[in-house]
Amino acid sequence: MKKSIQWIMIVSQFSILGACKKSDFLDKKPTTNILTPSTLTDFQNLLDNTTFLNATGGLAQLSADEYTVSYADWQTGSATERNAYVWAKDIYAGDTGIADWNQLYQEVFYANSVLDGLSKSDSAGTAQGQYIKGWALFTRAFAFYDLTRTFCKAYNAGTASTDLGIPLRLTSGIDYIAKRSTLQQSFDQVLNDLTTAAILLPAARPSANLNRPSKIAAYALFARINLDMRNYTQAESYADQCLGLYNTLIDYNTISITARSPFSTTNDELIYNTKQVTAYGLFTPTNSSSLGRVPGNIINLYNSNDLRLSVYFSQLSDGSYYRKRGYYGQGNYPFTGLATDEVYLIKAECLARREQTAAAMDELNQLLVKRYNNAGNYVPVTATSAADALAAILLERRKELMWRGLRWYDLKRLNMEGEGLTLTRVLNGVSYTLPPNDPRWVLPIPNDEIALSGIQQNPR
């Protein structure tokens, strides 16, 4: 039977697991034919394999307005990179093996392998077995959610029951092709997985292994998802539950503003670690040879006392800026996981949308006082109306969450709110424009997946 690329690429990925040295189990199970995890240790080692897990897509970052490249540098990119940058109708132009699809479905496969194995295990009911089940469900929810927000329309409660969702693969079997669900079914699956995960996961934040989820991470992800769905009351509630368990913020006055990697890999704001797939080099290097530059209109958002300008970016002799290493502190690829600063901003936005102006600004100022130079005598931000509060919070959201893989989805959501945000780029004298709610806000499913499985392509 013809197999979808959703699963078929797993065979080649498992063939190199021996190089990971995560455990004897991973070393000895090189193909899906003999991949038979059976013990709780096997299951945990599978989920701990950060070489293949804890990643999110990068097409949205390629398409967003957080960087710019010169025409000469743009020409050096792959077809996918070049076309995503200008929002072309045909992004891939013959490119195959698209990581945003393949690697995320690989994560689903890992999670399903664990869940299927647990269903046959006598140890599934133990405390460790229940923890591993919660971990696997969280992993699947995170992957399904990332696929949904990349390859589907922004959530609209009025049309979600007919809008196209993603294929929902719920077992590790590879002998069937999953067709596209509706968008409502996709979100329902994500929320159902996450609901069970939140019950099973421990309340405490991991002190070191931040690739492992907790209740804190589940509530933070619930808050992010409900914000995307524009369920602002629920998003606020989950943000509040998250911060009730863990609310630490870093005082940027205490970290080096000149270091190339200002943040440690276990910095105190981290809740759950993921990073962008290592597939796109056009904008990724974080040094003076980086092709991607931070647009001047973004740099101008930060005033002289805002430490984020120096913490996030470095300036070159020509006056341009490039981004430093990501929030997670290591590697060139952006941090896309969950952290307390995002949760504060979610809660603040939701309060503003409920016209709780004073409470919204208090939440925002709890964050901002940690971001400004102490010598500058930080003056709390104020607002005279809920609309002013919302505008201030959205501005700080853009400044705080730079290069976290969120901007593209924020733009989709805000355009559903009627913001009318248009993106424009100019390359070699040619202007490219992406108007609000254009079909190109939904990324196309890779062509090789369409050819193999016959699922419906997104209109562009």
Residue 260 burial (CB count, 10 A)? 10
Q: How far apart are CA 37 and CA 319, in angstroms?
A: 54
Q: What are phi and psi of 84, to 5 degrees?
A: -65, -35
Asked whether residue 311 is assigned to any structural domain, the reply reads yes
Q: What is the pLDDT of residues 240-290, one digit of tens each?
A: 999 999 999 999 999 998 888 888 888 999 999 999 998 887 766 555 556
Instruction: Output the pLDDT for position 64.
Output: 97
Print the domain residue range for 137: 5-59+98-231+442-448
pLDDT > 70: percent of the chain: 90
Model confidence band, residue 65 (pLDDT cutoffs 50, 70, 90)? very high
- Mean pLDDT on 17-35: 39
Instruction: Output the pLDDT for position 258.
Output: 85
* In a shared domain, residues 268 and 405: yes
Q: Domain count of the chain? A: 2
Q: What is the pLDDT of residues 202-250, one digit of tens each?
A: 999 998 899 999 999 999 999 999 999 999 999 999 999 999 999 999 9
Asked whether residue 459 is assigned to any structural domain, the reply reads no
Instruction: Output the pLDDT for position 284.
Output: 62
Average pLDDT, the chain: 90
- Mean pLDDT on 168-179: 90
Asked whether residue 240 is assigned to any structural domain, the reply reads no
* In a shared domain, residues 278 and 205: no
Asked whether residue 78 is assigned to any structural domain, the reply reads no
* In a shared domain, residues 261 and 219: no
Asked whether residue 236 is assigned to any structural domain, the reply reads no
- Mean pLDDT on 72-83: 93
Asked whether residue 141 is assigned to any structural domain, the reply reads yes
Instruction: Output the pLDDT for position 98.
Output: 96
* In a shared domain, residues 210 and 348: no
- Mean pLDDT on 89-101: 95
Q: How far apart are CA 307 and CA 325, in angstroms?
A: 16
- Mean pLDDT on 181-200: 99
Asked whether residue 76 is assigned to any structural domain, the reply reads no
| pLDDT above 70: residue 9 | no
| pLDDT above 70: residue 330 | no
pLDDT > 90: percent of the chain: 77
| pLDDT above 80: residue 161 | yes
Q: What is the pLDDT of residues 98-139, one digit of tens each?
A: 999 999 999 999 999 999 999 999 999 999 999 999 999 999
* In a shared domain, residues 163 and 284: no
* In a shared domain, residues 227 and 260: no
| pLDDT above 90: residue 6 | no
Instruction: Output the pLDDT for position 328.
Output: 63
**Pick the residue with more confidence: 344 or 26?**
344
* In a shared domain, residues 155 and 258: no
Instruction: Output the pLDDT for position 213.
Output: 98
* In a shared domain, residues 199 and 306: no
* In a shared domain, residues 292 and 396: yes
Contact 59, 101 (CB under 8 A): no
* In a shared domain, residues 219 and 293: no
* In a shared domain, residues 297 and 192: no
- Mean pLDDT on 358-379: 94
* In a shared domain, residues 280 and 416: yes
- Mean pLDDT on 386-402: 98
Asked whether residue 72 is assigned to any structural domain, the reply reads no
| pLDDT above 80: residue 201 | yes
Q: What is the pLDDT of residues 397-455, one digit of tens each?
A: 999 999 999 999 999 999 999 999 999 999 999 999 999 999 999 999 999 999 999 99
- For residue 47, give the CATH number of its domain: 1.25.40.390
Q: What is the CA radius of gyration of the chain?
A: 22
With 0.85 as the threshold, say if the pTM is over it: yes
